[in-house]
Structure 1
Amino acid sequence: MLLFFIVSCGGGGSSDSSLENSSSSNPTVTSISENCEITTWNNKLQRCDLMHEGLERYYFIYVPNNLNNEKSIPLLFALHGYGSTARNHFSYTNYIPIADQNNLIVVYPQGAPMSTTLTSSSSHWNVGGWTVGSNVKDVEFIDALLDLINNKINFDQTRIYSSGMSNGGFMSYHLACNLSSRIAAIASVTGSMTPQTYTNCNPTHATPILQIHGLLDTVVPYNGLSYMESIPKIMKYWSEYSSCNSEPDETITENITEGYVINIQEYKNCLNDVNVKLFIHNSMGHTWPRFSNYGISASTEVWNFVSQYNLYGKIN
C-alpha cells in the first residue's frame, strides 16, 4: 500500500489518479545568490537557480506585467505533488489569469529528489510520513526564497500564501505549522497532514485553512491512512486552534445531470475573523479539479479564499 501511494502521489490536474499589525515585517537578509533567466517555454516566467543547504534548487516565478506597486502585492506559493514538477504544476493550475487580474506574484518551487530506505523519488516535499528519512530542509528553503524575492520585489510581507496539490498540500500544512510567522493562509487540494506535522504543529496565529478533497481519492483517502491524518481530524484541529464554531455551516450543491454532489463545510466565528473551509466532492479522485469537469475550479477557489486574509486575520 505504501508503494502504491508513493508512486501515485505526484500532482497532476489531468489524471484522476498575537502579532502587531503592520504592512510589512523585517525578513532576515539572505546571503544566498541566485541566477534567474526567462524560461525558453514561457516568456512570462523566470527560472531562478540557487544552492541551498548543499543542494541545487530552483523555482519559477511569475510577476504580472502590469504589477501595480501602489497597491498591496500578495505572493502565492504553488507547490507540486510527489514525484511531479513545478513546470507541470504551473501548467494545470493556470494561476496566470488570476495573477494578472489581482496584482499577484506566483512562485512555483521545485521539490528536491529523495532517496531513503523506504523509497526514492525524483521530487518530494519533506513532511514526515512516507518521506521520513529525508534530510531536505524544505521549510528553510521556502523561507530563503521569500528573502530572495523580497530583495527584488517589495511585496506585502503580511500576505504570503501557500497552496499545493497532494504532497504540495501536505507541505502547505507543514508551512502553516512551521513557518506560521510568515504564512498568512494556506490551501490544500488532495493533501493532508502527516502524523509528524500534526503532532508537532506550532502555529502562531489564527490560520485560514482551505481543503478541497474528493471521496474517490484512493491516494490520499478522505479517512486517512497510518501515515496521513484523516480530513475530518485536520479540520477539527484547525477549527479548534482558531476557536471557530464547533460545528460548520453546511451548503450542498447537487448536479443531477453530471452526477456530482459538492458538500461545503465552513467553520465560522473564528479568531480574527478567519475561516476553516472544506469542499467535499463525491465523485472526485486524486486530481486538481476544473469547473468544466467537476463543477469547481480549485485555482479560483484557492485565490478567492486566501486573498481575504493577511497575517492578522480577515482584511477589512
Structure 2
Amino acid sequence: MWSVILVCLTRLSFLIGLLIGSVSIGLHADDATPKVVNSRGFQVFSYEGTDREYLLHLPKDLPKKAPLVVFLHGYHGDARDYAEMGMSRVADAKKFAVVYPQGLPDRRRVPHWNARLKLSTVDDIGFLKALVASLQKKHGLDAKRTFVSGVSNGGFMSYTMVSEHPEHFRAAASIIGTMSGETWRKREQMKSVPILQISGLSDKIVPVDGSMSPAGGWGGAPDQKTIVKFFKKLNQTQTEEVVELSARTTAYRYRGGVNGAEVWLYEVKDWGHRVPRAKEMGVHSVDLVWDFFSRY
C-alpha cells in the first residue's frame, strides 16, 4: 500500500515541482573508461556484472580537486528529470561536479535506492562507493569533499550512505526523506557528520511525526525532531539559531559541532510530499543544499 502511494505521489509531485519551480555522465572502481552512451542517454559501467547508468555534469573550467555532489532521485524516479532540477545550474556557478545516478528496479519493477530496505537485494551502497571513487580518479575530484543528497527515497539513501560511510561522504542533505528503519537501528555505530533535512510539515508519505509504515523497510525511524536531536548530540553542537525564512518556512541551525559539523532542519508549513520551491522557502532547495555543503 505505502509503496504504491509512494510511487505515484513522489513522481507526480516531483514533476509538478519542476513545472512550477524552476547532463553528462558509471564506472566500476577498476574500470577507468566509460562505455558509449546507451539508447536512454546514459553512460553505463559494469558493477558486479550489472550495467549501471548515470549522468555527470562537469562545468567548464572546473578547477582541480573540485567537489562532487551525488544527487539521487526519488522512488520511481528518473535521473534525467532530476538533472533538470537546478543542481547543474548551481554547479556551473560554484564550480563543482554533479552526478545523477539511476536506480535499478525493485521487486515491483520500480526504480529505487536500497537504503537498507526490504524491496530488493540490490547493492546500491557498493555501487555508489564505486561510482564516486571512479569519478574522483578520472576527473581529479576531491575525495574529501564528496557529498550526497536526494529527494524522498534519495533522501533515505543519503542518510544511509553518510551513516555507514562517512569516510566517502563528507555531509548529507535529505529533501523530503528520512532515515530508514534499519539505518536508524544502526545509529550507534555512526560518527559525527553534517546533516541538512528539508521537510514539509503536511507530508503524508514521509510524515515528520515518524508514523510511516514499516512495510518494505521504509518506516521505523522516529519523528524528525528526535532524529535531529540525535545528530545534534552526535555532532556535539553548541548553539541554536532559529530563523523565519518566510511565512511558511522556519530554519533551525545547530552550529559549533565537532570539526565544524552542523545540523540544519528546514520545516515548511502546509507543505506535503513535494520539493519545496523558492516561493515557500525563500531559497531554492538546490541552492540551499549547496550552501550547506560548501561549508565543508
| Shorter-chain TM-score tier | 0.7 to 0.9
Please state whether the residue corresponding to 1:174 is helix, strand or coil. helix
Note the C-alpha offset of 1:186. 0.7
* Mapped partners of 2:285, 2:61: distance in 1: 24
TM-score, normalization by structure 2: 0.86
Q: 1:55 aligns with which of 37, 50, 54?
A: 50
Summarize the Cα distance change of 1:112–1:9 in structure 2 as closer, same or farther, 3 Å threshold. Answer: farther
**C-alpha deviation, 1:165, in angstroms:** 0.2
The separation in 2 between residues aligned to 1:305 and 1:168, in whole angstroms, is 17
Match of 1:165 among 147, 151, 160: 151
What is the distance in 2 between the residues matched to 1:202 and 1:37?
A: 43
CA contact (8 A) 2:251 2:266 kept: yes
Task: For 2:189 and 2:162, locate their aligned partners in 1 and report how far apart those are by CA, in whole Å.
Answer: 6
Structure 2 CA distance, aligned partners of 1:193 and 1:66? 36
1: CA distance, partners of 2:39 / 2:120: 32
Determine whether 1:76 maps to 2:69: yes
Please name the residue that 1:266 is paired with. Answer: 253
> Structure 1: any 5+ residue segments left out of the alignment?
17-28, 256-260, 310-316
Q: Which residue of 1 aligns with 2:112?
A: 124
Q: Distance in 1 between matches of 2:268 and 2:230?
A: 21
Q: Distance in 2 between the 1:238 and 1:293 partners? A: 26
Question: Is contact 1:34-1:48 (8 Å) kept?
Answer: no
Q: Would the aligned equivalents of 2:62 and 2:95 in 1 still touch at CA under 8 Å? A: yes
Q: Is the CA contact (8 Å cut-off) linking 2:249 and 2:280 kept in structure 1?
A: no
Q: What one-letter code is carried by the residue in structure 2 that aligns with 1:221?
A: P
* 2-structure distance, mates of 1:99, 1:175: 22
* 2:221 paired with 1:234: no
2:182 is paired with a residue whose SS is helix
The 5 A counterparts of 1:276-287 are: 276-287=263-274
Contact 2:150 2:158 in 1 (8 A): yes
Is residue 165 of structure 2 the alignment partner of residue 179 of structure 1?
A: yes
* CA deviation vs aligned residue, 1:190-231 (integer Å, no higher than 9, x gap): 000011011113666421100011112111111122433221
Alpha-carbon offset, residue 303 of structure 1: 0.2
Which of residues 159, 180, 196 is equivalent to 1:210? 196
Shift of 1:273: 1.6
Following superposition, the deviation at residue 39 of structure 1 comes to 8.3
Would you say 1:7 and 2:7 are equivalent positions? yes
- 2-side partners of 1:168 and 1:9: how far apart? 15
1:250 and 2:242 are equivalent in the alignment: yes
| Whole-angstrom distance in 1 between the partners of 2:189 and 2:144 | 15
More helix by share: 2
Tell me the residue number matched to 1:65: 60
Structure 1 residues 15 and 233, CA, compared in 2 at 3 Å: closer, same or farther? farther
1:211 is paired with a residue whose SS is: strand
Match of 1:289 among 271, 276, 281: 276
Mark the CA change 1:176 to 1:6 in structure 2 (over 3 Å): closer, same or farther. Answer: same
Matched, 1:101 2:93: yes
Q: 2:164·2:190 contact (CA, 8 Å) conserved in 1? A: no
Q: CA deviation at 1:68?
A: 2.2
**1:142 and 2:128 correspond:** yes
Tell whether the 8 Å contact from 1:177 to 1:201 is kept in structure 2 after alignment: yes
Distance 2:131 2:245 in 1: 39
Deviation at 1:37, TM superposition (A): 4.6
Could you tell me which residue of structure 2 aligns to residue 19 of structure 1?
A: none
| Residues 241 and 254, structure 2, Cα contact 8 Å, conserved in 1 | yes
Query: Does structure 2 retain, via aligned residues, the 8 Å contact 1:47–1:61?
Result: no
Cα offset, 1:103, TM superposition: 1.4
What percentage of residue pairs aligned between the two structures are identical?
A: 29
- State the TM-score, normalized to the length of structure 1: 0.81
**1:86 equivalent in structure 2:** 79
Measure, in 2, the Cα distance between the counterparts of 1:85 and 1:100.
22
Contact 1:76/1:162 (8 A) holds in 2: yes
Aligned-residue CA RMSD (Å): 2.4
Partner Cα distance (1:160, 1:31) in 2? 19
Partners of 2:260 and 2:137 in 1: how far apart?
Answer: 32
Give per-residue Cα distances to partners, 1:92-114, cap 9 Å, x unaligned: x2112211111100000000111
Aligned partner of 1:31 in structure 2 is 30
- Give per-residue Cα distances to partners, 1:257-296, cap 9 Å, x unaligned: xxxx211111222111211000000022111222145533
Which one of 183, 204, 208 corresponds to residue 222 of structure 1? 208
| Paired residues of 1:177 and 1:202 also in contact (CA < 8 A) | no
Greater displacement, 141-150 / 227-236: 227-236
Amino acid across the alignment from 2:44? D
* 1:49–1:158 distance in 2 versus 1, CA, 3 Å: same
- Deviation, structure 1 residue 3: 3.9
Q: Which runs of structure 1 show a deviation greater than 6 angstroms over 4 or more consecutive aligned residues? A: 38-41
